[in-house]
Structure 1
Amino acid sequence: MKNYSTTPFFLLLAVILLPLTSCTEFLDEEFRDGITTDNFFNNDAEAELAVNGVYRILYRTSLYRTRGLDNYYVNGADVVGPSRNVNGQVHNYLIDEGVSDGSGTWNSLYEMARNTALFINSIEGNENLSEGARDQALGELLFLRALAYYHLTNLWGDVPYFRELPSTEELSTITRSDRNMIRTEMKADLERAIGLLPASYSGSDLGRASKWAATALKAKYHLFDREWQDALDESVSIIENSPHRLLDNYADVFDQSDPANQYNDEYIYVVDFTRDPVFGDGNTSRTDDYNPRIRDEPANRNDRPGGPGTPTRVELYSDLLASYGEGMTGFGWAIPLPEIADSTNWEEGDMRYTASIVTKYRGYELSFPYYRKNWNLDQENSPRGNHPENYIVFRLADIYLMAAEAENELNGPDGAYEYVNAVRARAFEPDKPWSGMSQDEFRKAMYDERKWELAAEGHRRMDLIRWGILLETVKATEHRPWNNPGNNIEPKHVLLPVPLEEIQLNPNLLETDPSNNGYR
């Protein structure tokens, strides 16, 4: 079975359904008889297998499993940086053609685009399928295709685009299409998906995209495209009509301690990883980026509190952690930057700080701060390299803040307070609601509010880009001595270069932009 994740996009024509065993329960089904392009699709089960195969692409290291998308959505902003001199090409903006240009991510996203194009055309109008199964499959495929092009257009701008699977010759000569056109068509597809998908799932179907997941993605498209009324309408639809609710306790949003109970009412869409998958990348190693490594911890680790000849602090600490079934076995690659780690930079009384940031654990001061919301030290249920934690793609608090931002841009802050204050109500005790701001004051306050609420969740860098403040923010942010992104970042870095291997295979990719997004 060919692994497309390391094969250049333009050499790939055949669409092969992967063995569907791992990840969420709805993917735990054996691939028995096989499906080929000659028999697409004879029954409901075959259509479902095809959809499941597209979902499985999301579990790749190049996407959600580890630093695939996080390289360009989390790193290189003002919230996350490495604890040592690693991942420097990305964080320090040393990106170029062939250098951290996202080629693996590009290939995986285009595998999604190819598979969804073929499957949509094979399922639509297929009389071998029941109406319910056909609608379900089409809705999910439309969502997954829109998610792929959402990332492609966010990261590369104008990109190759197709709605039907191109021929080999067409793939080898395809040019880039206008980003705005692509995004317009994806929003129309999502509107259709909203009408096809169910409002919720239960049991073994948890992890599939609901109508509210499609609505959230559509709202994101509108927000990024500054279509404020549409962004507001979609966000309010979720707030008022969906089964999702804000949890009472911020820390509970990120509680993944029980592998059998990792969903909550605030999640709109997650990529649900599992421990010990039978096949494939069903588990995640992203957690290891946020987990400390014991060689760094605790502070003054080689001191001997009991005097010469007694155990060192690190030996005492390791024993203490082990007594709780815990261990610091991670990489420590994704830790809070100094400014966000400093509690004095947060608004006084913001309880999200202690839920998000940890500088002292089980009575020991740590050498570095860490993101408590993203770590899991449990060595039994979440061991190194084999973690089951969900990647939260969309959650309701983000939607509330999107509604607040859109309402402020449309009409000023008066109608926006209710949305932002709903999020702040659980962050402060006593409550600290916003009021009395001008439109510009509200806009700028939102820059920080989204940082405190959504830090290290995959939103920050794109927020800074869409606000037009990425460069000034990176330049003004304190980084650790081994990083210097402020010295290197340039206007071109709001987009990635089209991967070098793709240009070598198809020079037509430079036809509409010989500069390759400014990298030539």
Structure 2
Amino acid sequence: MKNNIKLISFLLIGLLILSGCDKFLEEDLRDKIPAEEFYNNDAEAILAVNGLYRILYRGSLYKTRGLDNYLENGADEVGPSRNVNGEIFNYLIAEGVADGNDTWGSLYELVRNSCVNIASIEGNEKLSEKVRDQALGEALFMRSLAYWHLTNLWGDVPYFRELLTLEELGTLERTDKVLIRTEMKEDLERAFDLLPTSYSGSDLGRATKWAAATLKAKFHLFDKEWVFAEEECLKVINDSPHRLLDNYADVFDQSDPANQYNDELIFVVDFTKDPIFNDAKTARTDDYNPRIRDEPKNRNERPGGAGTPQLWEVLTDTLATYNEEMNGYGWAIPLPELADQNNWEEGDLRYEATIVKEYLGFELSFPYFRKNWNLNKDNSPRENHPENYYVFRLADVYLMAAEAQNEINGPANAYEYVNKVRERAFEIDKPWSGMSQQEFREAMYDERKYELSAEGKRRLDLIRWGILLDVVRETKQRAWNNPAANIQSQHVLLPIPLDEILLNPNLLNSDPSNNGYR
């Protein structure tokens, strides 16, 4: 989708649909969308849906650390390399302080614009059946994705399925997340029937029926609906064209900007270098790329003696011979326990593909996530990166199926799913066997950690398992962070953003404590 979505379609949809505001209740969009003058043919319908994808590129969502702030930080995998982002990482969150206001606004913009698309596309006889089905399926998927994040981050939230007036929006109360998630599962079932099985060329990156099934499986897994979760996973495992790659490191190889898709990837947010529209590139990679001011270890030493280049200059010159440089922000690094190979199972090949502590013969001051960095200065320059954000991939689906089957019947039939993932993780295979249901359940805590580290899965996993507080309090931190001293039970959710409460006090009607933050 690098050419299809990120060119003139953005401009057109930006004028017709996107409000450009980050506040949920700030504008009455219904009065500004000439829907009757649009959606007149297949091309316009696709352009309208392209506008939904564009919202995903926001810095408050997938572009930088928007969603990562609440999906990765404050768990036991990723932490800052210096004293930054402390309000979030150290659980100093409060109303108006790291309460996710921008993320809330972007997600509700995605909801609103999805509603416009659904209302305008459904039953539209000006469109071909093929395009109508695809566009409707994509809009249903996007709205479900938005409510997936909203209910996970805030629990009960305002809920609507059609575009409302400013007055209506300004009086909405919170809706029970159970109802929201139930209806999203129904929408995803419908999306599965409508969406294509695959795309090619410039359409790569659009949501397929397998993306819809994976998201639905996640809803079911989070809600402990094990049978339904496994059913959705098996659709993807047995019927989709997706497969596990033979080499774990290859899953994350995005060194060639023209070849960033592989068979394991189910849904990604597709970024590109040098886009016409600035928001289509990502700076997230800079969080994972080192900065040369930190590296290497003992960087000011002069290995050749007095008057010779310092070690950091030698590293810089060495990197240049590979057309590389360390010019990132360098602040999203593995926490000490994850970086220590002794804490990984012996022989786990994923360690070397995930963690890097030495590079080109230089010992580094910090460990880094090799799977998420790209040092190529031409293909992936600072703040102009093309690396895609992996939202769903097949290994996650296998592990979800294993977890669901274990909860249904115990581990006997769950081994086949988890062992499929472990086959490539060990050169001498180490399949699981002989576990009790509880042993399997607890082993899955670590298996998902090592397979999916720094992919935006960890914190929600710890929350749904009910162990976030215990894990954070037991995890070794660096000197500048101490989340264990601050984390409390309310931190499994965010407070409704203060700006939204000021606009609509009804948001406190069902819970005056605002998720325990008052």
Question: Is the pair's TM-score, using the shorter chain for normalization, greater than 0.5?
Answer: yes
Larger mean CA deviation between 8-17 and 427-436 belongs to: 8-17
Question: For 2:220, which of 205, 219, 222 is the aligned residue?
Answer: 222
- Report Cα offsets for 1:141-169 as digits up to 9, x if no partner: 00000000000000000000001111111
Q: Does the Cα contact within 8 Å between 1:4 and 1:108 map onto a contact in 2?
A: no
Q: For structure 1, which runs of at least 5 residues remain unmatched after alignment?
A: 18-34
Q: 1:333 and 1:308, CA in 2 relative to 1: closer, same or farther beyond 3 A?
A: same
- The corresponding residue for 1:422 is 420
- Report Cα offsets for 1:257-280 as digits up to 9, x if no partner: 000000000000000100001013
State how 1:460-499 maps to structure 2 within 5 Å.
460-499=458-497
Q: Does the Cα contact within 8 Å between 1:288 and 1:384 map onto a contact in 2?
A: yes
Q: CA deviation at 1:170?
A: 0.4
Larger mean CA deviation between 42-51 and 54-63 belongs to: 42-51
Runs of 4+ in 1 over 3 A off after TM superposition: 1-7
Q: CA deviation at 1:42?
A: 1.2
Q: CA deviation at 1:101?
A: 0.4
Cα distance in 1 for residues equivalent to 2:430 and 2:22: 52
Cα distance in 2 for residues equivalent to 1:503 and 1:471: 27
- The corresponding residue for 2:29 is 14
Q: CA deviation at 1:44?
A: 1.2
TM-score, structure 1 normalization: 0.95
Q: CA deviation at 1:12?
A: 2.2
Cα distance in 2 for residues equivalent to 1:4 and 1:465: 33
- The corresponding residue for 2:366 is 368
Q: CA deviation at 1:39?
A: 1.7
Q: Does the Cα contact within 8 Å between 1:15 and 1:114 map onto a contact in 2?
A: no
- The corresponding residue for 1:398 is 396
Cα distance in 2 for residues equivalent to 1:137 and 1:499: 32
Q: Does the Cα contact within 8 Å between 2:30 and 2:165 map onto a contact in 1?
A: no
Cα distance in 2 for residues equivalent to 1:166 and 1:412: 47
Question: For 1:189, which of 182, 187, 192 is the aligned residue?
Answer: 187
- Report Cα offsets for 1:207-265 as digits up to 9, x if no partner: 10000000000000000000000000110111111000000000000000000000000
- The corresponding residue for 2:247 is 249
Question: For 1:101, which of 84, 99, 102 is the aligned residue?
Answer: 99
The two structures, once aligned, show a CA RMSD in angstroms of 1.2
- The corresponding residue for 2:456 is 458
Q: CA deviation at 1:6?
A: 4.8
Q: Does the Cα contact within 8 Å between 2:45 and 2:121 map onto a contact in 1?
A: yes
Question: For 1:348, which of 346, 349, 354 is the aligned residue?
Answer: 346
SS at match of 1:9: coil
- Report Cα offsets for 1:34-87 as digits up to 9, x if no partner: x72332421111111110001100011000001000000011100000000001
Q: Does the Cα contact within 8 Å between 1:5 and 1:104 map onto a contact in 2?
A: no
Q: Does the Cα contact within 8 Å between 1:239 and 1:400 map onto a contact in 2?
A: yes
Q: Does the Cα contact within 8 Å between 2:29 and 2:165 map onto a contact in 1?
A: no
Q: Does the Cα contact within 8 Å between 2:30 and 2:164 map onto a contact in 1?
A: no
Q: Does the Cα contact within 8 Å between 2:22 and 2:106 map onto a contact in 1?
A: no
Cα distance in 1 for residues equivalent to 2:350 and 2:125: 52
Q: CA deviation at 1:16?
A: 9.9
Does 2:80 match 1:82? yes
State how 1:504-515 maps to structure 2 within 5 Å.
504-515=502-513
- The corresponding residue for 2:335 is 337
TM-score, structure 2 normalization: 0.96
Cα distance in 2 for residues equivalent to 1:36 and 1:402: 43
Q: For structure 2, which runs of at least 5 residues remain unmatched after alignment?
A: 1-13
- The corresponding residue for 1:157 is 155
Cα distance in 1 for residues equivalent to 2:31 and 2:252: 35
Letter in 2 for 1:211: K
- The corresponding residue for 1:319 is 317
SS at match of 1:368: strand
State how 1:90-239 maps to structure 2 within 5 Å.
90-239=88-237
Q: 1:4 and 1:489, CA in 2 relative to 1: closer, same or farther beyond 3 A?
A: farther
Letter in 1 for 2:68: D
SS at match of 1:90: helix
Letter in 1 for 2:28: L
- The corresponding residue for 1:446 is 444
Cα distance in 2 for residues equivalent to 1:449 and 1:163: 37
Q: CA deviation at 1:122?
A: 1.3
Letter in 2 for 1:53: G
Cα distance in 2 for residues equivalent to 1:407 and 1:106: 34
Letter in 2 for 1:240: N
Q: Does the Cα contact within 8 Å between 1:139 and 1:194 map onto a contact in 2?
A: yes
Q: CA deviation at 1:5?
A: 5.5
Q: Does the Cα contact within 8 Å between 1:15 and 1:115 map onto a contact in 2?
A: no
Q: Does the Cα contact within 8 Å between 1:358 and 1:369 map onto a contact in 2?
A: yes
- The corresponding residue for 1:411 is 409
SS at match of 2:276: coil
Larger mean CA deviation between 86-95 and 36-45 belongs to: 36-45
Larger mean CA deviation between 4-13 and 311-320 belongs to: 4-13
- Report Cα offsets for 1:187-215 as digits up to 9, x if no partner: 00000000000101100110100000000
Cα distance in 2 for residues equivalent to 1:395 and 1:38: 38
SS at match of 2:390: strand
Q: Does the Cα contact within 8 Å between 2:269 and 2:391 map onto a contact in 1?
A: yes
Q: Does the Cα contact within 8 Å between 1:143 and 1:193 map onto a contact in 2?
A: yes
Q: CA deviation at 1:377?
A: 0.4
SS at match of 1:65: coil
Q: Does the Cα contact within 8 Å between 1:146 and 1:189 map onto a contact in 2?
A: yes
SS at match of 1:414: coil
SS at match of 2:99: coil
- The corresponding residue for 1:27 is none
Q: CA deviation at 1:13?
A: 1.9
Identity of aligned residues (%): 70
- Report Cα offsets for 1:97-143 as digits up to 9, x if no partner: 00010010000000011111122011111111111111111000000
Cα distance in 2 for residues equivalent to 1:13 and 1:491: 36
Cα distance in 2 for residues equivalent to 1:280 and 1:312: 37
- The corresponding residue for 1:306 is 304
